[in-house]
Amino acid sequence: MSQYLSGPFAGWSVRGNYLVSPDGDRMTPERLVGLAWRDKMELRLAGYASRRKAEAGKAIAGRRQMVKVVVVDLGEFRERHFGRSAG
Write down the pLDDT at residue 10: 86
State the pTM of this model.
0.50
| pLDDT tens-digit series, residues 32-86 | 999 999 999 998 988 888 888 888 877 666 666 778 888 988 888 888 888 876 5
Amino acid sitting at position 33: V
Amino acid sitting at position 49: A
Angle 17-21-24 (CA atoms, 0-180°, nearest 5)? Answer: 90
| pLDDT tens-digit series, residues 3-14 | 777 788 888 899
Is residue 1's pLDDT more than 70? no
Is 55 within 8 Å of 47 (Cβ atoms)?
Answer: no
